[in-house]
Structure 1
Amino acid sequence: MLRHTLGLMEQHPSRQVPAEHRWPAIIGVVAALALYTFLPNDLLSVQRYVVVGIGLLLVIPLLILNPHRLNRETRLSRLLSLGLALLILVANQITLVLLIKLLVEGTHDGPPLLLSALQVWLTNVIAFALVFWELDRGGPVARTRLARDKLQPADFRFPQDEDDDAITEVRARSSAVADWVPTFVDYLYFSLSNSMAFSPTDTMPLSHRAKLLMGLEALAGFIILALVIARAVSLIG
């Protein structure tokens, strides 16, 4: 539950799962910001440094609060964490629009533009993974610190959430038996699969916002792929 005086989450005694490691998500953030930084100047100029600078400033207090495991959360840290994920997502969607414009115009060098498309696509995968990770069931801290009946309704249903009636070795990893909850790697994997398959694979969206976000990611991935293929064919021709 929440301590109203400090805004910190307590571990519920019935929970078995340890707090999630901080570093997979931080590595994802740094990778996304690095990809954004090294986009060609045709796509971005000064604004890239503004976005990266704000992103790094948001990371610092989050690392100070939880340097190794995500076991503490305040209202401010929750807002900062959500803001960081949304900053990367929104900035990349703006970059995607600029990329589409350049691909359609066909007036810029092909290879650098195709490389830019790959950078934008990879950043998109990481950005959506961060947003999914932050939104689902109240976020990474709530998922391990709160009792399950205190969690917000799930945005996504993972295979482990319904494996409790499977054979013993599969059932052992289920949410019901092992108190399993998804971590950043799980959200990164299904963000990648959604961006490649343009549809849900093993993880299903449950809420309207989850469906809209997954639809936006799939649409962005499809547009990038279609335009990149068209540009590649024109270069070959």
Structure 2
Amino acid sequence: MSSKSVHERSDRRAAAGENRLPPACAVVVAVVVYALLPSAVLITNRLIVPGVEVLLLIALLVTNPKRMTRQTRWSRSASIALAMLLILTNLVALGLLVSQITNGESGGDLLVAAMQIWLTNVIGFGLLYWELDRGGPVVRREAARPDLPDADWRFSQDENDDAVIEVSRGSSMKSGWIPIFVDYLYLSLTNSSAFSPTDTMPLTSRAKMLMGVQATAALLTTLVVVAFAVGSLP
């Protein structure tokens, strides 16, 4: 296979916009999970917040139904607002969950709620990272690299251009690789699991602050699960 065909196959920037389906499905999962939380960890009617999130998602789907090819100031603000709404309401649910535990409340529904909150934490921050880094999914795909905003995160593909050939051919410099939603979801997953960066490093202050908030929330959620486990011991 020629080097040209390898470049064309691996260059994500050559495709006509990032696929809208993965982030849309992630939002739907987060909305459903939040709507199924116990009433004890909700600050309002369980359908109000999911209803607002669904309306924002529908508006974004109208703008880019299949591929992320168009971006306006409104659509970018709405996308960031959707991710922030998922995160903030989830953090409030976590605070109420911790309050329930410290007040001596127990029950299987609260244990399930902790798992739901952890999952929503992963999705919400993954969406926010995806939207913020290098100007967002549309700019990352369409702008020339010298014109891209400064990166918030450094992926392994951004620094392996001098590795062995079977690794370096997939690097950002040689293949035109750019991160897509699944890469930011993985970043969010590992940060929520390890409570720290793993293979993707934060570069800006806002990236470090966001990852710190996410890791702290994930740690608190994990401690709730541990508390349940210890409390169930004979």
Q: Tell me if both proteins adopt one fold, taking TM over 0.5 as the criterion.
A: yes
Could you tell me how far 1:61 is from its partner in structure 2? 1.8
Aligned-pair identity (%): 49
Aligned: 1:222 with 2:219:
yes
Mean Cα deviation higher: 226-235 or 132-141: 226-235
Instruction: Report how many residues are paired.
Output: 223
Mean Cα deviation higher: 58-67 or 155-164: 58-67
Q: Could you tell me which runs of 5 or more consecutive residues in structure 1 were left unpaired when the two chains were aligned.
A: 1-13
Look up the match of 2:117: 120
Distance 1:39 1:147, change over 3 A: same
Look up the match of 1:68: 66
CA distance in 1, matches of 2:116, 2:101: 14
Look up the match of 1:43: 41
Look up the match of 1:79: 77
Matches within 5 A, 1:144-183: 144-183=141-180
Aligned: 1:98 with 2:96:
yes
Verify the 8 A CA contact 1:70 1:140 in the aligned structure 2. Answer: yes
Could you tell me how far 1:107 is from its partner in structure 2? 2.1
CA distance in 1, matches of 2:29, 2:217: 19
Could you tell me how far 1:80 is from its partner in structure 2? 0.9
Q: Could you tell me which runs of 5 or more consecutive residues in structure 2 were left unpaired when the two chains were aligned.
A: 1-10
Verify the 8 A CA contact 2:40 2:96 in the aligned structure 1. Answer: no
Could you tell me how far 1:62 is from its partner in structure 2? 1.1
Residue 196 of structure 2 aligns to a residue whose secondary structure is coil
Distance 1:185 1:15, change over 3 A: closer
CA distance in 2, matches of 1:15, 1:160: 13
Aligned: 1:234 with 2:231:
yes
RMSD (Å) for aligned C-alpha atoms: 1.5
Residue 236 of structure 1 aligns to a residue whose secondary structure is coil
Residue deviations 1:151-173 (CA, integer Å, cap 9, x gap): 11100000000111111111121
Look up the match of 1:135: 132
Residue deviations 1:6-63 (CA, integer Å, cap 9, x gap): xxxxxxxx99432211011001100111110000122226443111111111111211
Distance 1:15 1:132, change over 3 A: closer
Residue 47 of structure 2 aligns to a residue whose secondary structure is helix
Residue 19 of structure 2 aligns to a residue whose secondary structure is coil
Aligned: 1:208 with 2:205:
yes
CA distance in 2, matches of 1:90, 1:31: 16
If the length of structure 1 is used for normalisation, what is the TM-score? 0.90
Could you tell me how far 1:106 is from its partner in structure 2? 2.1
